[in-house]
Amino acid sequence: MAHSPLKQSNMNEDLTKITVDNFESLKKELLRIRKLTEQENIAHQEFKSARFASKTSIEEMDELIKKIDEFQKIFTRNSHEREYQDQSTRECNSNSFRLFCRLLARTLHTFTIYFGSYDRRSLGFDSLFDGAVQVLNQRRNFYDQLYHTDNNALLAYELKLEEREHESYSTIGDRQSLLALKRKHSTTLTTYLKQCMQFHAYFYVNDVCDNIDTLLNRLFADKQEHTVYLKCPQRQKLTQALKRICIPLTCPNLRLESNINYASEQLSNQNLSTSFIPSKPLRKQLRKTVHDVHVDQIIRDHRWIVLLGSSGCGKTTLARWLTYEFARAISRNLEQVSIKDGDEKKHFGPVRLPILICVSEFTDWLQSHPTSTLFDYLGQHTWQNKSYLEEKFEMIQDFVLHRHALIILDGLDAVATFELRAQALKLIQDFIGSFVLSSDFISVYDDVQLAKMWSTQVDRCEGIEPGNVIIITGRIAGYDVQPLRSELIAHHRIIPMTPKDVSDFVTTWCTDVQAKVINLFITIVPKLKDRQLAENQDWLCASKLLEIFHSRKEITAWASNRRLLSILCILFARHGIPSLANTRMLLYQQMVELIIQQSQTENHILKYVLSQLALYIHLCSKSGLIDEFDLKTLCRLSFKQWHNQNSNEHCPLSLSELRYKTEQFIQILNEDTGMVATPYLGIYGFFHSSFQEYFVHILMMTKNPSPEELAPRFYNFYSRLPMRGPLLFAMSKISSEWDWERYNRFCDQLISYNNHYNKYVPLGALLFVTSLADLTCLPSKSIVFNALDSLLLVDDDEPETCFFQSSLSVAFNILPVPMVHQWFEHVLSSNVASHLKLILIAWTVISTCEIFPRWINLHFLRIFCNYSGDYEEKFDVYVQKIWTTMSMTITYQRSEHMFQNLRSYLLAKPDVFANLDTRVLAAIIALYGGLERTESKKDEKRHITVRFSPQRIFKNSPLSSVFIDYLNDAGDQTSRMQRLIDQCHQIVSGASSSDISLRVIHSFVVLLCLNGISPPSSYHQYPSQNALQWAVHHLKLIRIYLHDYYIHMRSADTIELTTLVQKKGETENLMAFQSLAHAYGSL
């Protein structure tokens, strides 16, 4: 296949012959695709893996091939007839015909290239086919009226392309192949490629180890010799080597999406006159979303590429990796850049010479070369101020002139000033317009309607054709103000990492770092070669680190950014899992210390300035941002204040010193430290709001106040919503650094602070409970109880509900389980007014959670068992519901002490239910529980089943021996029933009038279930009428509980139902319970 529609090796070659050849090439490609389609009959077998779904039929392909063939015959016949025209006629039409032949040859060649790439680009074939039909029909119509058209825009544009081609030919002559250039510059090229691979083969990881001895023995200790000892020189070498280790640079596997169309001048005409940053509505209007794409497809499909992303998202890593891979491909004499990624290969198009330019270093170079251009800088470009070449810079320029270069401009946003950025952008635009042209000399700044073959064309397939490719990277911040505007430029945004991306990154990082460290140990300490790695060593176990990511919300948010993810990995390598599983305050402290350490700046000064910045943004900026002017003013004041407070020198800092320190601080912020980000040009804010809160808390704790001074201050701060985050950090710091006596005093002062608001909103107790997850240790038990009491007993209009229910539920999950149970007993034994609030909190948790928290266990049940019957019936109803729910949901070991022998007996002898009277079963259910409710769906209808199961018995009764005697009785049903009645009758007859023991009450319950209430006067003979009333009350509760829980299952109706029952008469209830006893006994 020809590399150019005009076969530029001979500028005078007959355009007619070229056009005919391109007709044949296009028909050949279409016939190839038709054959593939025909083999599958509907779709292409080879494209099934790419989810190919073409709607283009074989008949439509045949029709297009036929039209192309007819067009070719007309063109050939007319061309042949022109040879016999007279001289004047031929000269009159020669210019238009020549330009049309050039246009037609370019069109045919472009579609040949597109269809030729079809084996790798199945998606979008229908659009390509429709575009070919549309464009070729237009070209034919244009040809039919060619000699009757004056001043045609297409021919005028074609003339411009021809002039560019002539200009290129006059500058460099025939375009040389990549192979010819490699031979011409072999020595210089070898040096350059070697530097490229040396600069970009690795990335560096700093400070992965803080204790060499611990790490050494962790990796190499064995059963024979548990400790490995180092000599002094070896220790020094290892210490130095581990300060900075190099890891192979791998593809960052970025996820990209098309983001913003910057072609419209509307961006510069709206809102910019009144606002430096475009408004959010305007940004949304210009945004379009497409499917995620990989960088190989972008480079393969496009010639002009802009990659935008946030700080630390991997832009520079990608630029370096591409430079290394393309340099390696040239050094291996490859023709295509194909890189294996797992089980598949990614194709990046033809080999090109990589030229990675750091834009900030280019602008620095411009300071001493103000009249130079970007093209002049090629060859003199550097990486971190290290040169690729010392001489013969024309080699790089030669590759660009002959269009065999991949130019990467990294860090468009990293220019120091707005003026320098504007100057650099102008030079970049000029360079692109002159040296980054398509194979047919289309410029990115041409009219898009003329440059594109058809209106719906999306992918340009430029990367598969010869020519330079340019990639520009930068942060989104500020790019809106001065973008590169053209619809031909492919703008892509790097989107945040997915959990899978994070997992891949962590796994690769841990594997590579551990392998490198082990190799360093073996190299420096030769005797370690004979040792095996310690069994089950897990110094950098990626799975453990990923578990922490899933369990900590803050860490999950950080992990989406590659810069912060790397910091987390280093923390993991230095301190292990405990460093990440620590309280939030300790984790942030370690993160900040490591980031500041890597910035190579004075720790205390940087912390102080960042704290002042955080406080200003926290209190004065609703947007959470600060512009550069205010930031510089704040920095100068902060540096001045720090110097006055901490310097032994009496002379103040000069204005020049303040400016220097301020500029240095701004430069650190612009270097992507990971704490501060720049969402817009000249606008700064903390990367995550929690970093801002952390630095605010540092200022709150600087003067080390006493507990008596700090508690009221915290109380007042907590009423201000923005200060709550910093207060949680401060509470954590106090719990970890203050001594026990001082810490207790502070907590006591905070919770019991006497304030007229405290009666209604106990802010001190609420702050303490909210900060429980961040505390390193707890104060004394009495102080914790005090805080919980304050939230439970707060005055409100609803005596049965607790306003701080959610806060208490969270506290129960954090506090030690024994302490929670002790507080339950404390409330139930002393605070009679709040018992209903407490059980409502417990019931809400039990009825809504899928998995019971740790504090809901057997001991929790026993606590409420002990207090059942001591309070009003609402409390008892909720106790019944809690017992039932837990017995139906979880399996736990019940002790014989709690359930005595009846449950064990029923489980051991399931046959006793065969002839069991339903009235006896009703009595057992009333005293012991044991009902089980299950739901199922069949034919989209809900089916509910309620049955008795000894496994679900959750209550106890003193009548267990009586029921066991009844069940063991081998007599007939009537005599067995009478003996059970007689035993209960004997118990209630022998009781005194004041006896309200469970044995007497439960005997009355059994008599009511077995005999009913007919006649009611039969119960007046018993002396213990109080116990009878308790039995009736017990059956009321059972009725409410069964009706609410097993029939309707509406917990919200419980209180309403209880109130309704209380208004009914006793006789009516007793009659209802007799019928209910037989009803639920027959379930």
Please, what sign has the CA dihedral across residues 721, 723, 728, 734?
negative
According to DSSP, residue 796 is labeled -
pLDDT-derived band at 296 (thresholds 50, 70, 90) equals confident
- 350-401 tens-digit pLDDT: 899 999 999 989 998 998 999 999 999 999 999 988 999 888 889 999 999 9
- Give me 6's structure tokens: 């005009």
Examine the pLDDT at 858 and tell me if it is beyond 70.
yes
Distance CA 331, CA 584 (A): 50
What is the dihedral angle through the alpha carbons of 687, 692, 695, 700, rounded to the nearest 10 degrees? 180
- 53-101 tens-digit pLDDT: 456 777 877 888 888 888 888 777 776 665 554 444 444 456 777 788 8
> Which is more confidently placed, 616 or 1076?
616
**pLDDT, position 262:** 63
Q: Which residues contact 177 (CB under 8 A, 6 or more apart)?
A: none
**pLDDT, position 1045:** 62
What is the dihedral angle through the alpha carbons of 638, 640, 641, 646, rounded to the nearest 10 degrees? 120
Location of structure tokens 């001043």: 151
Examine the pLDDT at 760 and tell me if it is beyond 80.
no
Distance CA 111, CA 33 (A): 13
> Which is more confidently placed, 735 or 1052?
735
| Nearest alpha carbon to residue 473 among 347, 308, 645 | 308
**pLDDT, position 286:** 38
CB atoms within 10 A of CB 1029: 14
| Nearest alpha carbon to residue 672 among 930, 473, 933 | 473
Percent pLDDT > 90 in the chain is 15
Q: Which residues contact 786 (CB under 8 A, 6 or more apart)?
A: 748, 751, 752, 765
User: For residue 431, with 0-12 CB atoms within 10 Å meaning exposed, 13-18 middle and 19 or more buried, which class applies?
Assistant: buried
Percent pLDDT > 70 in the chain is 78
Distance CA 849, CA 143 (A): 76
pLDDT (average), residues 917-934? 81
Examine the pLDDT at 1077 and tell me if it is beyond 50.
no
Residue 872 contacts residue 1037 (beta carbons within 8 Å)? no
Cα angle value 919/923/927 (rounded, 5°): 170
DSSP 1022-1051: -S-HHHHHHHHHHHHHHHHHHIIIIII--G
- Give me 461's structure tokens: 């397939």
| Nearest alpha carbon to residue 700 among 768, 628, 612 | 612
Domains of the chain: 15-175 (no CATH), 189-198+252-496 (3.40.50), 202-248+500-581 (no CATH), 584-698 (1.10.10), 898-1081 (no CATH)
**pLDDT, position 149:** 55
Distance CA 525, CA 228 (A): 10
Going from the C-alpha of 121 to that of each of 25, 116, 607, the distances in angstroms are 19, 10, 53
pLDDT (average), residues 567-584? 81
pTM: 0.71
By three-state DSSP, how is residue 438 classified?
Answer: coil
**pLDDT, position 131:** 76
User: For residue 676, with 0-12 CB atoms within 10 Å meaning exposed, 13-18 middle and 19 or more buried, which class applies?
Assistant: buried
How long, in residues, is the chain?
Answer: 1083
Distance CA 178, CA 818 (A): 77
Residue 106 contacts residue 6 (beta carbons within 8 Å)? yes
CB atoms within 10 A of CB 898: 14
| Nearest alpha carbon to residue 600 among 660, 668, 543 | 668
129-138 as b/e: b if 16+ CB within 10 A: bebbbebbee
Q: What is the CA radius of gyration of the chain?
A: 41
Examine the pLDDT at 744 and tell me if it is beyond 60.
yes
Residue 856 contacts residue 813 (beta carbons within 8 Å)? no
By three-state DSSP, how is residue 474 classified?
Answer: strand
Location of structure tokens 């506290």: 811
Location of structure tokens 């800092």: 653
| Nearest alpha carbon to residue 477 among 634, 293, 283 | 283
On average, the pLDDT of the chain sits at 77
DSSP 186-239: HHHHHHHHHHHHHHHSEEEEE---S-HHHHHHHHH--SS-------HHHHHHHH
**pLDDT, position 330:** 94
Name the residue type at position 650: H
Location of structure tokens 């808390």: 697
User: For residue 423, with 0-12 CB atoms within 10 Å meaning exposed, 13-18 middle and 19 or more buried, which class applies?
Assistant: middle
DSSP 237-278: HHHHHHHEEEEE-------EEE-B----THHHHSSTTT-SS-
Distance CA 545, CA 584 (A): 16
pLDDT-derived band at 11 (thresholds 50, 70, 90) equals very low
Residue 789 contacts residue 830 (beta carbons within 8 Å)? no
**pLDDT, position 871:** 52
Examine the pLDDT at 276 and tell me if it is beyond 60.
no
Name the residue type at position 510: C
Residue 585 contacts residue 774 (beta carbons within 8 Å)? yes
Q: Which residues on adjacent β-strands are paired with residue 357? A: 409
Distance CA 1012, CA 1004 (A): 11
Name the residue type at position 377: Y
163-177, 612-626, 928-942, 1044-1058 — which is least confidently predicted?
A: 1044-1058
Q: Which residues contact 360 (CB under 8 A, 6 or more apart)?
A: 411, 414, 415, 416
Distance CA 386, CA 195 (A): 10
Distance CA 1013, CA 813 (A): 48
Identify which of 169-173, 407-411, 1023-1027 has the greatest average pLDDT.
Answer: 407-411
Residue 588 contacts residue 729 (beta carbons within 8 Å)? yes
